Amino acid sequence: MRRKVFLRKLIGASTIITMDGLSTIANAISRTHNKSIDSNEFASFGAIHLNNTSLEKATHFWTQIVGMKLRTTSDTKAEFGTATQTLVVVHPSAKNPYQKGYSGLYHFAIHAPNMAAFASMINRLNVNKYPYAPVDHTMSKSVYLDDPDGINIEFTLETPERFKRIITQGRMRIEGTDGIIRSASTRLDVNEVLKELKDTDSTKPIAIDTYIGHIHLYANHIENSTAFYKKLGYLQFNYLPEFMYSDLGAGGDYQHRVVMNTWHGTNKPLAPKESAGLRYYQINYNSKDQLDEALSNFEDIPEKEGSYWITDPTGNRIVLSHK
């Protein structure tokens, strides 16, 4: 309820589906982007590790609904992704579904490399009659869905080139490069996206260059979490404590990489360990020098086989490594 009140204050009485795209309504500039991992960025995400209640349900979801390949599996974990990389690792260690009202993972986003791939992701959901929420943030096109344990996942196509300017009179709105003024989060025209569908075969896996493009966290304190991710090298895009929100980029055109909010309440603890949710996630720096520069801002970071384990102020665990 608190989040809905906040959103209405921010963008007025227009219909609200989600508000992941606050980066589309403040401090944005018009850019072009090739909708793949930006070579100018100092780091990218490795695999997202999740705690789930059922490996069987998770396997069905990630292979049949999302379209990933099952890369490896055992009694203790399963890895899903493309033919060349692991994107999600599931650990069947949770006893309860995702618990709302706690800090931790809000959602993470799987980014499509192009419109046809994004359309294919949506088509698969339609074929399987899997529920999702379509949202147009102007800087991106997205659909949101939950896994069997209630963990929220976003499918995204980056489109910052569509943004022209922000309008703040009365309420915050966005003018696109097409001259149309929209709310910050409006309903995505799914039929328009599906016109770009090149292959209707919903059994084919997701595009090989699909990638984890951003992570959105419920922080327990916006200022502390923002300062922490700056130490890791991330660059401030929007810092809006009055809206309980902050996001940072990695140096490329699309600057919505690490995102956080306190819409669930300040100083909320992490959910109990028995609950489904984020186990940890990986940040891969492009070089050892870039990793070392980030590590120099901290003391006594444990190292294991070339990777460094660190915990953000909220309690989210992160593995740092370099390519």
Q: Is the pLDDT of residue 80 over 90?
A: yes
Residue 245: per-residue pLDDT: 86
Residues 30, 182, 144, 102: is their CA dihedral positive or negative? Answer: positive
Residue 5: per-residue pLDDT: 40
Chain-wide mean pLDDT for the chain? Answer: 87
Residue 139: per-residue pLDDT: 82
Mean predicted confidence (pLDDT) in 215-225: 97
pLDDT digits (tens, 9 = 90+) for 151-184: 999 999 998 888 776 565 666 667 888 998 888 6
Indicate the range of 37-41, 142-146, 164-168, 247-251 predicted with least confidence: 164-168
pLDDT digits (tens, 9 = 90+) for 180-210: 888 867 899 999 999 999 999 999 999 999 9
Contact of 98 with 151, CB cutoff 8 Å: yes
The DSSP 8-state label assigned to residue 23 in this structure reads: G
CA angle 79, 81, 86 (to 5 degrees): 60
Tokens of 299: 């003391």
Helix (H) or strand (E) holding 260: strand 258-261
Domain 2-322 has CATH 3.10.180.10: yes
Spell 145-157 as b/e; 16+ CB within 10 A means b.
bbbbbebbbbbbb
Question: Which one, of 278, 290, 297, 284, lies nearest residue 215 by Cα?
Answer: 278
Integer Cα distance of 215 and 136 in angstroms: 18
Residue 17: per-residue pLDDT: 30
Residue 171: per-residue pLDDT: 62
pLDDT digits (tens, 9 = 90+) for 33-53: 334 556 789 999 999 999 999
Number of other CB atoms surrounding residue 205 within 10 Å: 16
Mean predicted confidence (pLDDT) in 57-72: 98
Contact of 159 with 115, CB cutoff 8 Å: no
Cβ contacts of 13 within 8 Å, gap of 6 or more = none
Domain ranges within the chain, ordered by starting residue: 2-322
Mean predicted confidence (pLDDT) in 91-104: 97
Residue 167: per-residue pLDDT: 64
Whole-model pTM? 0.87
Question: Which one, of 322, 315, 314, lies nearest residue 293 by Cα?
Answer: 322
Spell 12-44 as b/e; 16+ CB within 10 A means b.
eeeebbbbbbbbbbbebeeeeeebebbeebbbb
Residue 177: per-residue pLDDT: 84
pLDDT above 70 coverage of the chain, percent: 85
Integer Cα distance of 299 and 288 in angstroms: 17
Q: What are the backbone dihedrals phi and psi of residue 132, each rounded to the nearest 5 degrees, phi first?
A: -155, 165
Residue 27: per-residue pLDDT: 34
Question: Which one, of 227, 244, 243, lies nearest residue 313 by Cα?
Answer: 227
Q: Is the pLDDT of residue 18 over 50?
A: no
Q: Is the pLDDT of residue 11 over 60?
A: no
